[in-house]
């Protein structure tokens, strides 16, 4: 688990989960420490992001690091 909230390309492909543990999206790209999240990734998007081929589209949202509670090997957990 990462102790800081600095995101890198290694975080691409991770699931984003809310404070209730529900999956709400997947990180498709990280630029300048900011994660771009697809709120409803399809299979192709998931594979691209896991391979590091992330590509933003008009449906991605930038995740504020202030919203992040913890980062694990597989997920980014949001605070309440």
pLDDT tens figures, 36-72 = 998 876 655 655 555 555 555 567 889 888 889 999 9
Domains of the chain, first to last? 9-78 (2.30.30)
* Over residues 14-43, mean pLDDT: 86
| Share of residues in the chain with pLDDT > 90 (%) | 30
CA distances from 12 to 7, 32, 66, 80 (A): 9, 13, 18, 22
Asked if residue 6 has pLDDT above 80, the reply is yes
What does the pLDDT read at residue 54? 55
Which one has a higher pLDDT value, 38 or 4?
38
- Helix (H) or strand (E) run with residue 47 in it: helix 43-50
What does the pLDDT read at residue 74? 93
- Residue closest to 14 by CA, chosen among 42, 45, 49: 49
- Residue closest to 35 by CA, chosen among 57, 65, 59: 65
């Amino acid at each position: 688990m990462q102790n800081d909230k600095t995101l890198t390309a290694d975080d691409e492909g991770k699931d984003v989960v809310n404070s209730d543990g529900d999956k709400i999206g997947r990180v498709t790209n990280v630029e300048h420490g900011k994660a771009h999240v697809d709120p409803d990734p399809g299979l192709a998007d998931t594979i691209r992001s896991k391979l590091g081929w992330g590509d933003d589209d008009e449906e991605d949202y930038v995740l504020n690091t202030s919203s992040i509670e913890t980062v694990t090997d597989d997920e980014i957990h949001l605070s309440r």
